[in-house]
Amino acid sequence: MMWTETPESRDNQSGISLTTTDTNEETSISSIVWFRNNLRLCDNLPLRDSARRGPLLPVFINEDLSGTEPEGARRWWRARSLGRLDKSLSRLGAPLAFFRGDPAVILPDLAMQLKADRIVAMDAVDPEDRRIQARLAEALANRPVEIHRFPADYLIPPADLPAGRTSPWKVFTPFWRAAQSRLPPPYPLPTPDRLDGIPFQCTESPDDWGWEPKRPDWAAEMRAFWTPGEEGALNLLKDFLENRLENYAVGRDVPDGKTSSFLSPHLANGEISPRTVWWAIENSGAVGADREKFLSELGWREFSAHLLWHHPDLSTEPLRKDLPEMPWREDGSSLLAWQKGQTGIPLVDAGMRQLRRLGFLPNRVRMVAASFLVKNLLVDWRKGREWFSDNLVDHDPASNAASWQWIAGYGADASPWFRIFNPVLQGEKFDPDGRYVKAFVPELAGLSPRYVHRPWTAPSTLPEKAGIGEQSPYRNPVVDLGLSRKRALDAWSSLRG
Ligand SMILES: Cc1cc2nc3c(=O)[nH]c(=O)nc-3n(C[C@H](O)[C@H](O)[C@H](O)COP(=O)(O)OP(=O)(O)OC[C@H]3O[C@@H](n4cnc5c(N)ncnc54)[C@H](O)[C@@H]3O)c2cc1C
C-alpha cells in the first residue's frame, strides 16, 4: 500500500488518503507514533512501547501552515534532524511519514483510514502544544482510537511536581532539592531492534518546506559547526564527558571555545533524553563540583519547564505580578543595533553576532547581552525573548521565557533589577585576552587586551585603533554604560515610589 493524494481524498478534512497497491488488502495497524520534540530512537517511550505492540506508522507533522512562525534557526536544525531520523527509522523497518497541517485533523483521519488502535505521543509542556493535544483528544472523543501520551521529556515530568504541595515552586534551590529526592530517573530504554512498519509513500517532504535557507543562506556556518540528530548528540555527550566535564564548573563561564556541553539544541529537539544525559554523568564516575554544577544546570531546565507548566503565559506575562511594568523605551534603532551586534559594546556584539552565525551563544554571554538590552537600553524583555526564539538553534519556550524574566527581574527567583551586568568587566574577567570578542568582531582584532573590551577609551593616537573609524560604534557606543545604568536604576526607584 502507499500514500497518495487522490481526488476522493479531498473529501477528508486532512486531504490525504491511503490507497493500497492490492485493493483486497485490509489495512490495519496498531499504533501511529507521533514524533514532535522527541526526534530520536533511544529512550523514546512512545516508540519503544509501540514497537512491541505490532505494526506502526511513525509520523511527523509540519504544523506551521503559514511558514511565518518564529524559530527560523530551530526549523533549519529540525529539517536536518528529521532527515537523519527518517534514515534511522527506515533502517529499522519503518520510515517516517511526513504531513503538513493541523494534527487534530490529520491524525484522526489517518487513524480511521489505517484502522489504527492508538495514537501515541509525548506529553507537551508548551501551552500551544498542549492546546493542540487537547483539540486532538476532542477530535478523537467519539472514535475507536485511543490517544496515549507518555510523560514529557524531563528527569521528572513537570506534571508530577509539586507533589504534596499546594502551589508550584518559585525558587530554584528548594525546587531542585525536592526534585533530587526523586532521582535517579529510570534508566534509559534501548533503541528497538526492529520495527514493523508499513510501506507507504507520502506527498510531503521536509525538503519542500523551505526550512533550509537558500537566498540568503544564513545557515552556512551552522552547517559546518553542528551535527543535528541523535548520532551528533551522542558523540557530543561522549566528547563532553571525556574532555570538558572536568573543570566544567569554572570553564563553563569562559566563552572562548567549547567549554560547556553544547547539548542544548539536541535536548531542545529531543535527540537525546535528559535521562540518557543524567545516567551518562552518573556512570562516568565524575564527583564533586563539576558533576554537581552540571546536574544543577539540567535542574534549571527542569525548573523552567515547571514554571511554564504552571504559568502557561510565561512568555508574555511577568511572573512577579506585584512589580509594576518598567517604562520600556520604544527604541527601534537601538534594538536593531543589538540584534545585529552593532551596539559598540564588544562582548554584547560578539554574542549577538555569534547568535546570527551559529544560532548559539554561551550562557554567560546570553546573560550579559540580555541584561544590556533590558537594563541599559530599557527595551522590553519580550522583544529580546522573541529575537532569541527566532535565532537560537536550541530555542526552548520554557528556558527562554524563564531566563528572560529572570534577567528582567520579573521571574521566579529573579536576578533583582538593580543587578546590572557590566559588559566591560564581564569581558575582562571571562575573556581577558579578548579572543572570543575578536573571533566575532574582527574590527577589534588589532586592539590589545587592555582596550579590547573598552575600545572607546583607547587613545586616538594609538596605531592599533586604526581599524576603528570615526563613525564606528566602538568609538561611540549606542549608550554610555554609566549613564544608562543610572537611567535604569532611576526608572526602578521612581516605580517603587
Ligand atoms: C536570556 C537567556 C535565554 C536562554 N534561552 C534558552 C533557550 O531558549 N534554550 C535553552 O536550552 N537554554 C536557554 N538558556 C539557558 C542556557 O543559556 C543554555 O541552556 C546553555 O547556554 C546551553 O549551552 P550548553 O548546552 O553548553 O549548556 P551546559 O552548561 O552544558 O548545560 C547542560 C544543559 O543544561 C541546560 N541548561 C543549562 N543552563 C540552563 C539555564 N540557565 N536554564 C535552563 N536550562 C539550562 C541546557 O539544556 C543545557 O544543554 C537561556 C539563557 C538566557 C540567559
The closest of 416, 404, 399 to 323, measured between CA atoms, is 416
Run of H or E including 62: strand 56-62
* Neighbouring C-beta atoms of residue 201, cutoff 10 Å: 12
CA atoms within 13 A on the CB side of 98: 14
The closest of 492, 375, 362 to 439, measured between CA atoms, is 362
Domain borders along the chain are: 2-150, 332-495
State pLDDT tens for residues 256-275: 989 999 999 999 999 999 99
* Neighbouring C-beta atoms of residue 62, cutoff 10 Å: 21
Average pLDDT over residues 343-356: 98
The closest residue, in CA terms, to atom 21 on ligand 1 is 363
The closest residue, in CA terms, to atom 43 on ligand 1 is 301
CATH number of this structure's domain 2-150? 3.40.50.620
pLDDT value, residue 69: 67
Q: Would you say 245 and 239 are in contact if contact means Cβ atoms under 8 Å apart?
A: no
- List C-alpha distances in Å: 316 to 155, 309, 326, 398: 26, 14, 14, 12
pLDDT value, residue 462: 67
State pLDDT tens for residues 385-435: 999 999 999 999 999 999 999 999 988 776 788 889 999 999 999 999 999
Mean pLDDT of the chain: 90
Q: Per DSSP, what are the bridge partners of residue 2?
A: 19
Average pLDDT over residues 431-447: 96
Q: Would you say 292 and 418 are in contact if contact means Cβ atoms under 8 Å apart?
A: no
Helices 346-358 and 423-430: angle between axes, nearest 10 degrees = 70
Give the pLDDT band (50/70/90) at residue 469.
Answer: confident
Run of H or E including 122: strand 118-122
The closest of 15, 314, 70 to 5, measured between CA atoms, is 15
pLDDT value, residue 470: 80
Q: Per DSSP, what are the bridge partners of residue 147?
A: 119
Q: How far is the CA of 45 from the centre of ligand 1 (A)?
A: 24
Select from 247, 264, 355 the residue to mutate for testing ligand 1; criterion: most ligand atoms less than 8 Å from CB: 264
Q: Which amino acid is at 441?
A: V
pLDDT value, residue 3: 30
DSSP calls for 164-203:
T-SS---SHHHHHHHHHTTPSPPPPPPPPS---B-----S
Q: Is residue 244 in contact with ligand 1, taking CB distance under 6 Å?
A: no
Give the pLDDT band (50/70/90) at residue 300.
Answer: very high
Q: How far is the CA of 372 from the centre of ligand 1 (A)?
A: 18
- List C-alpha distances in Å: 360 to 214, 364, 462, 488, 492: 20, 12, 34, 27, 31
Q: How much of the chain exceeds pLDDT 90, in percent?
A: 79
Average pLDDT over residues 206-219: 92
pLDDT value, residue 40: 98
Q: How far apart are CA 408 and CA 419, in angstroms?
A: 10
Q: How far is the CA of 252 from the centre of ligand 1 (A)?
A: 11
Q: How far apart are CA 149 and CA 475, in angstroms?
A: 56
Check pLDDT > 70 for residue 438: yes
pLDDT value, residue 5: 30
Run of H or E including 147: strand 146-150
pLDDT value, residue 6: 31
pLDDT value, residue 100: 95
Instruction: Decide: pTM greater than 0.85.
Output: yes
CA atoms within 13 A on the CB side of 378: 20
pLDDT value, residue 236: 98
State pLDDT tens for residues 178-200: 999 999 999 999 999 999 998 87
Right CATH number for 332-495 from 3.30.300.30, 1.20.970.10, 1.10.10.60, 1.10.579.10? 1.10.579.10
H helical segments located in 209-331: 220-225, 230-243, 248-251, 264-268, 274-284, 289-310
Residue whose entry in the numeric block shows the C-alpha cell 557590566: 422
* Neighbouring C-beta atoms of residue 190, cutoff 10 Å: 10
pLDDT value, residue 12: 43
pLDDT value, residue 201: 80
Q: Would you say 294 and 274 are in contact if contact means Cβ atoms under 8 Å apart?
A: no
Check pLDDT > 90 for residue 166: no
Select from 153, 261, 301 the residue to mutate for testing ligand 1; criterion: most ligand atoms less than 8 Å from CB: 301
pLDDT value, residue 471: 84
Q: Which amino acid is at 369?
A: A
Q: How far apart are CA 48 and CA 53, in angstroms?
A: 9
Check pLDDT > 80 for residue 13: no
The closest residue, in CA terms, to atom 48 on ligand 1 is 264
- Under DSSP, the state recorded for 415 is P
The closest residue, in CA terms, to atom 49 on ligand 1 is 264
Check pLDDT > 70 for residue 489: yes
Lowest-pLDDT range, 3-12, 24-33, 288-297?
Answer: 3-12
State pLDDT tens for residues 18-69: 433 333 345 578 999 999 999 999 999 999 999 999 999 999 999 976 656 6
Burial environment of residue 81 by CB neighbours within 10 A (0 to 12, 13 to 18, 19 or more): buried
DSSP calls for 36-60:
SS---STT-HHHHHHHTTS-EEEEE
